[in-house]
Chain A
Amino acid sequence: MSDATKLPLCLPEHLRRPQRRAKRHGIVALAILGAVLAGAVLLPDGALSVNAATRAQPPQPAHLMGTDLLGRDIAARTLAALAQSVQVGLLAAGASTIMAVVLGLAATFGRMADHVVGLLTELALGLPHFVLLIMIAFAMGGGTAGVVVAVALTHWPRLARVLRHEAQTIAASDYVAISRALGRSRLWVARHHLAQPLVPQIVAGFIVIFPHAILHEAGLSFIGLGIEPHLPSIGVMLSESLREIMAGHWWVAAAPGLGLMLVALTFERFGEALRQLSNPAGEEA
């Protein structure tokens, strides 16, 4: 008995206390999300405007992260860009999650539906997804809508596969057969037997897709297929900074790059912690 109680102490921290870990990462991620959104809203008027008097200034007290060639404050612009990215990311990840849920659950409605979903999932997983992203965004003519649709259409398969597997295991169980024999409809079974175990998976899936969505938004904007150049966007800022880096203006890339990394990384870790919590066996989500 004493051996059994001591054993978990040998495990690394994230396996020992997955709940506490998920909570900690969640608080950090949501605090950063809140700070970004609040900061963008609280930006003073004119913070994003062009100012010829302050062109290409390195970091200094008046402009903490410096200014770009048009005299715009990099810190303010980064904050606004991150808020923009987060909104696009939430929308794209949400759309992608909805697709995954619909397709994952559709697989339990008969063999034919399952074959179709299985085929679609394998097909989508087999395609190099950044190429697909570029093609979809290009076909949509770029812009915010293009990014959202492209990310939504390319990020559902992994979550759909996890949900499909889970839903099939439950749908084939004896207790579902008994509920059916006791006169319960498919819909009732879905609501009462499926929803409870699947909701945590869906939430974890959404959180895992979210940083991908942000990064892809930045990537697409960087190559000019994403958010319109006049809107503040991390991808646009990084792409503009390319010219300035050659002039030695390193700070133009530093703030947007680090900001993007910070937001993506905290959500990546939060999603990973949640995924481990809902699926300790460690199947890839």
Chain B
Amino acid sequence: MLTARALHHAYGNWQVLNGVDFDLARGEVLGLGGASGSGKTTLCRILAGQFTPDHGEVLLDGAKFKLARPGLPGPVQYAPQSPELAVDPRWTVGRILANATAPDPEVLTTLGIREAWTNRRPPQLSGGELARVSLSRLFHPGLRVLICDEITAQLDAIEQESLLRALIDLAGRREVALLLVSHSSSLRSRFCGKSVELGFQGKKVVQGKAAFRA
């Protein structure tokens, strides 16, 4: 469903992605791993349409797709690493949840959003609560692919488990494909049907030798 062919991307002289192919099927839960600096976030942002790759293209159902049109949320959404940066710190939770479409009760219940949070602002929520808020507003009716870039990295094991279970449960019911990025191979093997790793497994990826140069 979501496919990418021969993606190349460089930051200056530093070639991060060097001919990456990528396939994600409808409703699939795919894990994505790789060392720091191997280009996981770059790949995610390209798939979500936030970055334009130097070469290669991303297709949804074989066709180019638009990130979003005014008033129409895009079919591929990206949840960034830290939920604190993913929400406007001045907004209330209620306003964040209603950003694109009216909040869906099923989404709110499954992801454990409490009504008591409605008038709070992001700094008044814990990391886990914020992650749930940040994810739930992305579940609009037209969502096809949700890219989760290390969304549980800051959470403890119990919170990780419950958040990912809820997320996979919800995505499964709505046939939304999930791309779960994580350094932890055990987490990926537990939650993902399949897992790929950047820089290994035959992916033509030049690992970022100069990852820490910047």
Chain A contact residues, majority secondary structure = helix
Q: How far is the CB of B28 from chain A (nearest CB, A)?
A: 21
Q: Is the CB of B70 within 8 A of A181?
A: no
Of chain A, the residue at the smallest CB distance from B69 is A183
Known contacts A174-B80, A178-B78; A183/B72 CB under 8 A = yes
Q: Is the CB of B90 within 8 A of A181?
A: no
Q: Is the CB of B88 within 8 A of A181?
A: no
Of chain A, the residue at the smallest CB distance from B86 is A174
Q: How far is the CA of A177 from the CA of B77 in the complex (A)?
A: 10
Q: Is the CB of B86 within 8 A of A178?
A: yes
Residue B71, interface by CB 8 Å? yes
Partner of B67, one of A181, A185, A193: A181
Q: Is the CB of B70 within 8 A of A173?
A: no
Q: Is the CB of A193 within 8 A of B88?
A: yes
User: When each residue 30-74 of chain B gets 1 if its CB lies under 8 Å from chain A and 0 otherwise, what string results?
Assistant: 000000000000000000111000000000000000011111111
Q: How far is the CB of A188 from chain B (nearest CB, A)?
A: 8
List A contacts of B158 (CB < 8 A): none
Q: Is the CB of B140 within 8 A of A182?
A: yes
- Of residues 173 through 194 on chain A, the ones whose CB sits less than 8 Å from some CB of chain B are 173-175, 177-185, 192-193
List B contacts of A174 (CB < 8 A): 80, 85-86
* Size of interface on A: residues with Cβ below 8 Å to B: 16
Known contacts A182-B137, A182-B140; A175/B86 CB under 8 A = yes
Residue B99, interface by CB 8 Å? yes
List A contacts of B87 (CB < 8 A): 175
Residue B29, interface by CB 8 Å? no
Q: How far is the CA of A180 from the CA of B140 in the complex (A)?
A: 14
Known contacts A174-B80, A196-B90, A197-B90; A181/B85 CB under 8 A = no
List B contacts of A184 (CB < 8 A): 68, 70, 99-100
Q: Is the CB of B90 within 8 A of A182?
A: no
Q: How far is the CA of A197 from the CA of B88 in the complex (A)?
A: 11
List A contacts of B168 (CB < 8 A): none
List B contacts of A192 (CB < 8 A): 88
Known contacts A174-B80, A177-B50, A178-B138; A183/B86 CB under 8 A = no
Q: Is the CB of B100 within 8 A of A182?
A: yes
Q: Is the CB of B48 within 8 A of A185?
A: no
Q: How far is the CA of A179 from the CA of B137 in the complex (A)?
A: 10
List B contacts of A193 (CB < 8 A): 88
- Of residues 107 through 163 on chain A, the ones whose CB sits less than 8 Å from some CB of chain B are none
Q: How far is the CA of A197 from the CA of B71 in the complex (A)?
A: 24
A–B complex contacts, Cβ < 8 Å, 6 sampled: A178-B138, A181-B76, A182-B73, A182-B99, A183-B69, A197-B90
Q: How far is the CB of A82 from chain B (nearest CB, A)?
A: 39
List A contacts of B49 (CB < 8 A): 181
Q: How far is the CA of A180 from the CA of B76 in the complex (A)?
A: 12
Q: How far is the CA of A193 from the CA of B88 in the complex (A)?
A: 7
Q: How far is the CA of A173 from the CA of B50 in the complex (A)?
A: 12
Q: How far is the CB of A90 from chain B (nearest CB, A)?
A: 29
Beyond contacts A178-B137, A182-B99, A183-B73: 7 other A-B pairs, Cβ-Cβ < 8 A, are A174-B80, A174-B86, A178-B77, A178-B86, A181-B48, A181-B68, A183-B68
Q: Is the CB of B88 within 8 A of A182?
A: no
List A contacts of B80 (CB < 8 A): 174, 177-178
List B contacts of A181 (CB < 8 A): 48-50, 67-68, 73-74, 76-78
Q: Is the CB of B70 within 8 A of A183?
A: yes
List A contacts of B138 (CB < 8 A): 178, 182
Q: Is the CB of B73 within 8 A of A175?
A: no
List A contacts of B71 (CB < 8 A): 183
Known contacts A175-B85, A177-B78, A178-B138; A185/B90 CB under 8 A = no
Q: How far is the CA of A180 from the CA of B70 in the complex (A)?
A: 8
List A contacts of B67 (CB < 8 A): 180-181
Q: How far is the CA of A58 from the CA of B138 in the complex (A)?
A: 76
Of chain A, the residue at the smallest CB distance from B77 is A181
Partner of B88, one of A175, A180, A185: A175
Q: Is the CB of B90 within 8 A of A183?
A: no
Q: How far is the CA of A196 from the CA of B88 in the complex (A)?
A: 11
List A contacts of B50 (CB < 8 A): 177, 181
Q: How far is the CB of A191 from chain B (nearest CB, A)?
A: 12
Q: How far is the CA of A197 from the CA of B89 in the complex (A)?
A: 10
List A contacts of B85 (CB < 8 A): 173-175
User: When each residue 48-69 of chain A gets 1 if its CB lies under 8 Å from chain B and 0 otherwise, what string results?
Assistant: 0000000000000000000000
Q: How far is the CA of A49 from the CA of B74 in the complex (A)?
A: 72
Q: How far is the CA of A211 from the CA of B67 in the complex (A)?
A: 47
List A contacts of B100 (CB < 8 A): 182-184
Q: How far is the CB of A280 from chain B (nearest CB, A)?
A: 15
